[in-house]
Structure 1
Amino acid sequence: MQLESIDTHLWHATHAFKANGLPITTRMTVVRLPGRKLLVHSPVPMPPDSELWRQMQGLGTVAFVVAPNKMHHLFLAPCAAAFPDAVVYGPQGLAHKRPDLAARLRELPAGDVTEWLPDLEHLAFEGIPAGNESVWFHRPSATLIVTDLLQWMAGDLPWPTRAYATLTGVRRKLAVPLTVRALVRDRAAAARSAERVLRWPFTRVVMAHNQVIDSDAHAQVARALAVF
């Protein structure tokens, strides 16, 4: 596992593991902010002195480690330990779910985080409290960064994963998976957040599961978010 470049000041790495017995991959995204400060979004395993850890050292200083929703926290603690000087962010409710991280965890706000501006804009997506997912817009590369809200599980996958992707509606196109749609508790709030996301002039989408979309990205996201 190693970092691959997506754009200037933007990298990613994917990690294969099993979630509740289902073979799956997840993506970590790394953003380099001004001053060579690195933000690690949805961390994957990164033991000190591993190749991935060494790559990070060459890119800059890890200043922020972020759990983007209440589901993507499995590798947050070891990543935070690997970078003890980093500020650790997570969504509302994660400290209750992970009391071991409560002393270090800073709650993500509804809107922007001053230290990340002007390069990285932030929005807490409303209406789905079970996940409390945040989304980001990396302005220099015109990239939207999401986690579970939008998925497209394309490519050669194990049959259980193909079946899961088909059943949840994310095998053949970018979509809000049925598993996420079932968790909506305030559709009007979700619609407001979707409208806010679509104001960003992004031309690329990076998501945890499992595609990076470089073509017709804004229109595809608009179609997917129309479910709200």
Structure 2
Amino acid sequence: MSDPTYPPLDTPKPVAPDLWIVDSGPLRALGLPLPVRMTVIRLQGGGIWLHSPTRYDPRLHRDIEALGPIRHLVAPNVAHWTFVADWQRHCPGAQTWAAPNLRERGPVRRSNLQIDRDLGEAAPAEWSRDLRQVVVPGGLGFREVAFFHEASRTLILTDLVLNLEPAKLPWPVRPLAHLVGITAPDGRAPLYLRLVVRRRQREAARAAAALVGLRPERVVFSHGAWFDRDGTARLRRSLRWLLD
């Protein structure tokens, strides 16, 4: 039976100094079993920043706290927020940051999620020495906030690139994944998201150009095989639907 995930799961894996990933899942979306990934950064002040928190696990919490105190929980787009409330309950000293418009969504209002601060184009003082950020807009209230860790030249995305490895997917869904353009080696955003983002084509294209202009060495995202080298060239190929 195929396994779409990237074991070991729910454990920090070093990527660069002060930057780790945590692989988890699978989740089901669009009829596909999806791996999911959190990014962990230790800021210059020593606090820990969690991007798109994955499922809460006490052992994982202890492993992360061994790196530093958890200070920030980041929900970077309108889809990646569902596990944040669990982390909030166990990290009372952390602030929760959310993509623009997330707090207005009905499921969020009905949940137990407490949003402390909204994210914008400029990095807040809490992490401006470590991270730059870019908001990629779309229609229907969609926003994804991308982050660039300057020390490691790592770009952190969420759903703007999906790069699923066909061999890790159940064979009946492989044609669908290929058809919607989200399979390796040049995965893209899923078709529905491309349609949503294109409703703000001009602004989104400017944001995409800004991401490529950061010239990342690597690109980490939430689903699939992340770009561990040749980040700028591979990012440009993945965003060609928006840049061209």
Q: Same fold (TM over 0.5)?
A: yes
Match of 2:52 in 1: 42
Mapping for residues 138-217 of structure 1, pairs under 5 Å: 138-154=149-165, 155-159=167-171, 161-172=173-184, 173-184=186-197, 185-217=199-231
Match of 2:3 in 1: none
Mapping for residues 209-228 of structure 1, pairs under 5 Å: 209-228=223-242
Match of 2:127 in 1: 116
CA deviations on 1:44-93 (whole Å, 9 max, x unpaired) are: 1124xx22011011000111000110001110110111111111011122
For the pair 1:96 / 2:104, whether they are aligned, the reply is: yes
TM-superposed deviation, 1:201: 2.5
> 1: CA distance between counterparts of 2:211 and 2:27?
30
> 2: CA distance between counterparts of 1:147 and 1:163?
23
> 2: CA distance between counterparts of 1:131 and 1:108?
13
TM-superposed deviation, 1:113: 1.8
Match of 2:62 in 1: 54
> 2: CA distance between counterparts of 1:82 and 1:164?
38
TM-superposed deviation, 1:222: 1.3
Match of 2:19 in 1: 10
Aligned AA for 1:182? L
User: Is contact 2:180-2:190 (8 Å) kept?
Assistant: yes
> 1: CA distance between counterparts of 2:82 and 2:119?
18
User: Is contact 1:120-1:137 (8 Å) kept?
Assistant: yes
For the pair 1:67 / 2:79, whether they are aligned, the reply is: no
TM-superposed deviation, 1:129: 4.6
TM-score of the two chains, using structure 1 as the length reference: 0.92
TM-superposed deviation, 1:161: 4.9
TM-superposed deviation, 1:167: 2.3
Change (3 A) 1:166 1:57: same
* Structure 2 unmatched ranges of 5 or more: 1-9
User: Is contact 1:28-1:208 (8 Å) kept?
Assistant: yes
Which 10-residue stretch deviates more, 152-161 or 203-212?
152-161
Aligned AA for 1:151? L
User: Is contact 1:169-1:177 (8 Å) kept?
Assistant: yes
Identity %: 32
CA deviations on 1:152-203 (whole Å, 9 max, x unpaired) are: 1115222355344212202132323322111121110111101111221310
* Structure 1 unmatched ranges of 5 or more: none
Change (3 A) 1:163 1:125: same
CA deviations on 1:9-35 (whole Å, 9 max, x unpaired) are: 011111113335532111000011012
RMSD: 1.8
Aligned AA for 1:210? G
